[in-house]
Structure 1
Amino acid sequence: MSRATVELPAGVRAFLARPDTATLTTLRADGTPHVTPVRFTYDAGAGLARVTTRAAAGKARNVAAGGPAARVALCQADGFRWVTLEGRATVTDDPERLAEAVRRYTARYRAAPPAPPDLVVIEIAVDRVLSLNL
């Protein structure tokens, strides 16, 4: 599947490569925001941000309940520097996609993510990037 990708300036790409945490904002069924700290990876070539989590986690349930229209925001901040990645999100337990998410997470954070039996990956097809001071 071909996906249009958002071109990121070098400073933004470097910032997103740091082993920092971010906040992921999903929407609950009643429309209120659910914000959680997460570790994530960004694949510029595919235009995908990935967050591994449990299928039972609120963030995964919120994305799944939103169907194909589910949108999320992922924001990494350091003082007055920040990047927000926005886009449509899906949840999958596909073994190949999980393996890719785990591989990228391990490379970024130098440790494998937790591996609960209900591990899934939230994939965000990034279509909007906002940043400040990068």
Structure 2
Amino acid sequence: MIWLDICDDQGNALYFDMHHVERRRVGRRWQYAVSGICGNGLFEVSVLVEPNEEGEVTYIDLSAGSSCGRQLLSRLDSTQLEYELLDIAHQQCDSGVSGGKEQPHWFRASAPTVCEENPLWSRPV
């Protein structure tokens, strides 16, 4: 759960709880889609954030007829919320837009960090 730097009109802080990050290849580039729940403790809405060049945020109201998503979004500045969600998703994904590494680990021809002697039972007698 990540606390956002934004509050609704009643002073309730908002949070974003990521539950799924999808990485897919589109052409020659990697694109990410981050799914999660955004809320203020009273109302929640499911969110799909795509932090690519354009940046896209989709709100999905999964409440059973209670319109929690509309109530949440009507109490705050949606432009600022989208900016915060895109910024956090971009940081979490470290997408190609920010110039992140495509390989998680680079080969290093250096000595291992742990240098211990062999255990007594494996030494020659």
TM exceeds 0.5?
Answer: no
Q: TM-score, normalised by structure 1?
A: 0.30
* Higher RCO (C-alpha 8 Å, min separation 6): 1
| Greater Rg over alpha carbons, structure | 2
Q: TM-score, normalised by structure 2?
A: 0.32
Greater fraction strand: 1
